[in-house]
Amino acid sequence: MAGSVNSPAEAFTRMTFGFRDTQALYVVAKLGVADHLVGGPLGAIDLAKKLGVKPRPLFRVMRALASQGVFTQDRSDRFGLAPIGRLLLSDSPESLRYMAISTGEETYKAAGELLHTVRTGETAFDHIYGKGHFDYLAEHEEESRTFNLFMTQSLRRFGSPLAAYDFKGRSTVVDVGGGRGTLLAQVLRANPRLKGVLFDLPHGVAEAPQCLEAEGVAGRCRIVKGDFFRSVPEGGDVYVLSRILHDWPDEKAAKILANCRKAIKDGGVLVIREAVVPTGDAPAFSKQVDLTMLYLLGGMERTEEEWRKLLRSSRFELKRIIKTGQPFDLIEATPS
């Protein structure tokens, strides 16, 4: 007998075949389908001509996504944009297009080798590509740009609790591993007296000058290129690590923290924007992200006790966890 809606069998089936949705969304995101539908619905033949692809396979992908509310499909088999589909528009402030592209490429391939990771302990991405994810991005400009835009869209989606953080009495914020500078720009806009230092690898900050200029904060922000495993710019009284430490296992995360500890001013504060994993079997977004860290980067999400232990190992003391109501909280620590 077929399982009823929301039965264990139905839930199991939905989870098992989730890969189809990931790849279908990836295809339309990569092709830029939504951008061609802004002017109104199109049939698969006309749409395929604009995209340079085959009409029948495209029709089948569009039909499947229309059945899930991503697109609309009328009686003439013309496809239009539904609210979910508008999230695929390139220039929409709410766009998640690059999330779909990044997830559908290297991340998807790495997920397919999760069993290898469980059996051997080797990160699946490293197994497939022969190098770590960030080393790969350093050698692939398009993939690096896609990843940076994904991170920007993710920040926009989840918001920036750091913009509302109390920086009273502080003068210089150092954003370690800050990429394009989206988060730092939000902080500087919200705190006109602050100065900023954006620190990342050369390919990480490649688009930062344009981003900071567009946000109107370039005059208060210095861009420094470097490797946080070697050193971190000195002189800041606030050091920010936003979704950086979960990329790495404890020994490497501790190295980053140790370099922050060497660089931070007396009386300074470290603010970490990361998930704090709840214990037990309660549903949590962080527990799913933790799997991505496992097979893509070799990193991990951490519980409160794991954060305390990691910070202590690098001579920081966890002072408080600021709950944000979002998947990522703020962890405040001071030098010990």
| 117-128 pLDDT per residue, tens | 999 999 999 999
Other C-beta atoms closer than 10 Å to the C-beta of 289 total 19
| 52-65 pLDDT per residue, tens | 999 999 999 999 99
Greatest distance between any 2 Cα atoms in the chain: 69
| C-alpha closest to that of 247 among 282, 292, 210, 212 | 292
Phi, psi for residue 278 in degrees, rounded to 5? -75, 150
Q: Is the pLDDT of residue 157 over 90?
A: no
Task: Output the CA–CA distances (angstroms, integers) from residue 128 to 103, 107, 114, 132, 232, in the order listed.
Answer: 16, 11, 11, 10, 31
Q: Which residues contact 12 (CB under 8 A, 6 or more apart)?
A: none
> What is the mean predicted confidence (pLDDT) over 19-48?
98
Structure letter (DSSP) for residue 95: -
What is the percentage of the chain residues whose pLDDT exceeds 90? Answer: 88
Chain CA centroid to CA 77, Å: 35
> Is residue 270 a contact partner of residue 333, using CB atoms and an 8 Å limit?
yes
Q: Which residues contact 188 (CB under 8 A, 6 or more apart)?
A: 173, 194, 195, 196, 215, 217, 220, 221
For position 162, what pLDDT does the model report? 84
Confidence of residue 2 (pLDDT cuts 50, 70, 90): very low
pTM recorded for the entire structure: 0.88
For position 159, what pLDDT does the model report? 65
| 85-110 pLDDT per residue, tens | 999 999 888 999 999 999 999 999 99
Question: How far is Cα 168 from Cα 211, in angstroms, rounded to an integer?
Answer: 25
Question: How far is Cα 157 from Cα 175, in angstroms, rounded to an integer?
Answer: 20
Give the catalytic positions in this structure: 246
* Domains (range + CATH), the chain: 8-88 (1.10.10.10), 158-279+297-335 (3.40.50.150)
For position 152, what pLDDT does the model report? 82
Q: Is the pLDDT of residue 131 over 60?
A: yes
What is the percentage of the chain residues whose pLDDT exceeds 70? Answer: 98
Bigger pLDDT: 326 vs 30: 30
For position 5, what pLDDT does the model report? 62
